[in-house]
Chain A
């Protein structure tokens, strides 16, 4: 079993839709949770960073962590074609390597 599971998609939505991206994990020691966005043939770009459980909002993006269920989510409101990319969840115990999900490919059509 992988430490971090993420549906590879692709997830296709129309412009303006609310997008929900999710990851589950098995290691209860993870405390720091991140979402990265990766455009084709580019390096990952840090979108959201959350410590422990709770919600964090930044513009159209909301990150949610539920440590009791070992489940994290990223919500994108009013999705745009420019949001089309692969979204990677990542997590760590702290002062350690990041463990990544395999990424979900998102396609937002005009």
Chain B
């Protein structure tokens, strides 16, 4: 069974640009979570989507946004990129409302120059 997949693997942008990151959950999982892992800061919760709706968001500015598509895949958009947005962005999926067991993808490494 395929795990969580993310694309692209690496993304290089300049300050002020927009970045779009994509995630496909494990088949049968309807919940998708996004986390940011910046150097030395650990994983910080960004967003949670379930059944196409945003269920919760972490302590991040509104320029971090996303959506979930009818096939449960998800997209994370980061607008007006800042240097401190450079991080590994991880997507996780779980069965509906079973957020205690989340399975992670390999991540997208975003570098902002």
**What is the interface of chain A, defined by CB distance below 8 A to chain B?**
32, 34, 36, 41-46, 49, 51, 88, 90, 92, 94-103
Minimum Cβ distance to chain A for residue B56 (Å) = 6
9 interchain residue pairs of minimum CB distance = A32-B100, A102-B42, A43-B104, A97-B45, A100-B43, A43-B106, A44-B104, A43-B107, A95-B97
A-B contact count (CB 8 A): 61
Q: Which of A32, A42, A43 has the most CB atoms of chain B within a 10 A radius of its CB? A: A43
Contact B42 A46 (CB under 8 A): no
**What is the interface of chain B, defined by CB distance below 8 A to chain A?**
4, 6, 33, 35, 40-43, 45, 48, 56, 58, 88, 90, 92, 97-107, 109
Contact A44 B43 (CB under 8 A): yes
**Residue ID in chain B nearest A46 by CB atoms:** B103
Contact B42 A96 (CB under 8 A): no
Contact A45 B104 (CB under 8 A): yes
Contact B99 A101 (CB under 8 A): no
Q: Which of B90, B98, B100, B102 has the most CB atoms of chain A within a 10 A radius of its CB? A: B100
**Residue ID in chain B nearest A90 by CB atoms:** B43
Partner of A102, one of B33, B41, B45, B48: B41
